[in-house]
Amino acid sequence: MNEATVAAKADPNNPKQIGASMPGMVVLVAVQAGEKVAKGQKLMTLEAMKMETTIAADADGMVTTIHVGTGGQVEAGDLLITLE
C-alpha cells in the first residue's frame, strides 16, 4: 500500500517561508538554492485552470530550500521555498 505524503505548510507569519497562494501546478522555478533574492522578486509561477500566478519573495534573503520543483502539484498554503 502506498502512503500519501503530506506537504509541509508555510507559516503565514514568517516572511521567510513562501507558501502557495492557491492549489495548482508549479510551471516555473525562477530561482536556485543559494541565490540571493529581494523582496518582491519572482520566485515561482503556479498554474491552475490555465491561469498563472506569480509567487514573489515577501522579504529579502537567500534561498535555502526549494521544496517543490517544476511539475509538482501543490495545495494552498504548501511550503514552496524557504529563505534565510
**5 exposed, middle or buried (CB, 10 Å; 0-12, 13-18, 19+)?**
exposed
Give tens-digit pLDDT for 8-39: 999 999 999 999 999 999 999 999 999 999 99
Distance CA(62)–CA(7), nearest Å, equals 22
Provide the β-strand partners of residue 38: none
Query: Which domains does the chain possess?
Result: 17-83 (2.40.50.100)
Give tens-digit pLDDT for 44-77: 999 999 899 999 998 899 999 999 999 999 999 9
| H or E stretch at 46 | strand 42-48
**49 exposed, middle or buried (CB, 10 Å; 0-12, 13-18, 19+)?**
exposed
